[in-house]
A and B are shown apart, each in its own frame.
Chain A
Amino acid sequence: MTSGKRFARELKVAWAIAVKDMKIYYLRPPSLMFGILFPFSMFLSFVIGRNMPLSRAIPVLVAQTVFFAASTIGPVSIPMERRLQTFDRFLSAPVSLLTVMLGKTIAGFIYGVGISFIPVALGLSFFNAQITDPAALGIGMMLSAFGFAAMGIMFASLPGQGPGQVMMPLNFVRIPLLFVSGVYTPIQNLPSWGKVASAASPLTHTIELIRLGLGGEGFYGLAVNVIILTFYVIVFMLAGMRFHILNQKRE
């Protein structure tokens, strides 16, 4: 079999895994709670009473929903599948682990893009938001959704028998990232250590791209944002795979 045919075959399996995850996990209570309710309620708790201009508020909501929604599906599906041993089906099937990871990441990616499209649509329909750079917005939402979905998969490789056991360490990372990524506090106003942390945070580059797309300004520039997010996509995918292989050795 040629490598092209094998690649196409693996992609089909990844898509099948993603579709199966969409059917089973998108409407599960933990997905709805951590993927939708959590970012929207956090956003409201920060925005209400702060006189934040809408031009700043909509990109924040978009970035936050893509961040939380995309990184939620893996931590919901994988621990449940491990507990019910349905994850073993992938491990005993003639597919590579990368294909399985890709399928799971696609499921998180579509969830992230789909949910974050809601605040974009709300902004455009009711709050006079305008898309000034569709490429920046599109790349920002998609690359971020892919990266954060892969981040969720990486965390889901932590040993645990339920989504809660993965969500807890994941939230220890997700919530602090909100404060160093220029989501609520502009990067210019952060202390020097905060600026370093901000540059290293993938969420910083998500919000920058989305701001650029919706008529705002960035701190690092589009190219840097894209390079850093791409770097994180690769790191999260490889680290996730590595952790899952370690699990196979341990189990």
Chain B
Amino acid sequence: MILEYVIEASSLTKYYGDFCAVDHIDFNVEKGEIFGFLGPNGAGKTTTVRMLTGISIPSDGWAKIEGYDIKKQSVEAKELMGIVPDISNVYTELSAWDNLTFTGQLYHLSKSDREERAHELLEMFELYDRRHEKLEDYSRGMRRRVCIAMALMNRSSILFLDEPTSGLDVQSVLTIRDLIRKLNHEGLTVFLTTHNMEEANQMCDRIAIINHGRIAAIDTPERLKRTAEGLQSVEVSFETPTLKILDDLKLLTGVKEAQKQGDKFRLYTEDPPKILSEVWDYAEKNGLKLITVNTLGPSLEDVFVKLTGVKEKPKTGGRGGMRGRRKGMGGIR
């Protein structure tokens, strides 16, 4: 039987009392893709993952994992997946070795198989030398790695990652992102929930944006950005940035909105070339020295804000910021 989708959700719904946390959502995930599930806190991301992985029972609708209904054929479905929840739910009283081999037991691996797999994963995650230490002595990043290794013990074909890099230091974030890409190249399908837009932009083949329990859009990151093509902007920086400059820039013809972002000013417009010449004239008239000028396409953040109305706190996640697509680097010195 050839299956087009490895994860299918139809009218998936979760109520907590009268509150509808996930409201009849439908989506499919293709084999081998990294599928991002992007949304603000409380949007329903974790609830969706909990229903897809059988931890929570849906109030309505259904979900299938490689054709197995998660409610009716839960054992078969669960054998195919690994889960990394939003917090590292490892047994801190046990060693990394014991955590992994216990997980192997839960997935019915033979003793030799689970020891071989634990050895392999601990080597891969660079934890083998500390395998007998209790996890209470591990750093948060190391526990996260153990948690991911536990999710891979059963050689799953689908990996659910719920905010995998949240709260980690830059080095751990980069390590985990590289690892997810590597696993995906090896054929693993990844379902990644995040509220970090840069992470979603960098990692995902397709993204679903969820807000208030409903899916607002599903598409590739670039196509999503194209839906907000009207949100182009020009980013400029002056040698001496002041709030007066911000007030002046707001008055330029064609500027829809102006923001001061650190030592830079971002001017939203539908006509970037016109704004560029306006800014140039403004700088000359006022004797201001321009340092950089960039035109930016809409970022995923812009799309997110447009679709959800939620202004997320920017997350850098260690590589780049929440930046738009740079169309031209106009560094002026």
Contacts and interface: CB of A to CB of B under 8 A. Distances in A.
A94 B91 contact: no
A94 B75 contact: yes
Interface in B53-105: 53-57, 59, 74-76, 78-79, 81, 83, 85, 87, 89-91, 93-94, 98, 102-103, 105
Interface stretch (A57-65, A80-88, A110-118): A80-88
B122 to A, nearest CB: 18
Contact of B90 (A17, A86, A92, A93): A86
B251 interface: no
Interface stretch (A194-202, A223-231, A243-251): A243-251
B185 interface: no
Most buried by B among A9, A23, A88: A88
Interface in A89-134: 89-96
B105 A12 contact: yes
Q: Is the interface of A mostly helix, strand, loop or mixed?
A: helix
A92 B89 CA distance: 12
B132 interface: no
Given A85-B85, A86-B91, A96 B106 contact: no
Contacts of A12: 105, 108
A9 B55 contact: no
Nearest to B86: A85
B107 interface: yes
Interface residues of B, number: 30
A13 B53 contact: no
A145 B55 CA distance: 29
Contacts, number: 70
A112 B306 CA distance: 60
Interface string B26-65: 0000000000000000000000001001111101000000
A159 to B, nearest CB: 12
A23 to B, nearest CB: 7
B107 A248 contact: no
Nearest to B81: A92
B197 to A, nearest CB: 26
A9 B57 CA distance: 25
Interface string A1-25: 0000000010011001100100110
Nearest to B74: A94
A9 B56 CA distance: 24
Contact of A92 (B53, B57, B102): B53
B75 A95 contact: yes
Contacts of A13: 105-106, 108
Contact of B78 (A24, A92, A248, A250): A92
B16 A93 contact: no
A23 B135 CA distance: 14
Nearest to A90: B106
A20 B55 contact: no
Nearest to A24: B93
Contacts of B59: 249
Nearest to A28: B93
B157 to A, nearest CB: 13
Interface in B104-155: 105-108, 150
B108 to A, nearest CB: 6
20 contacts: A9-B108, A12-B108, A16-B105, A20-B94, A20-B102, A23-B94, A23-B98, A24-B91, A84-B89, A85-B85, A86-B90, A88-B85, A88-B89, A92-B55, A92-B81, A94-B78, A94-B79, A94-B106, A94-B108, A248-B55
The 10 closest A-B pairs by CB, nearest first: A16-B105, A85-B89, A93-B106, A94-B78, A94-B79, A94-B75, A91-B55, A249-B57, A92-B53, A24-B93
Interface of B: 16, 50, 53-57, 59, 74-76, 78-79, 81, 83, 85, 87, 89-91, 93-94, 98, 102-103, 105-108, 150
Given A84-B89, A91-B55, A249-B59, 8 more contacts: A13-B106, A17-B106, A20-B91, A23-B93, A88-B89, A92-B54, A93-B106, A94-B107
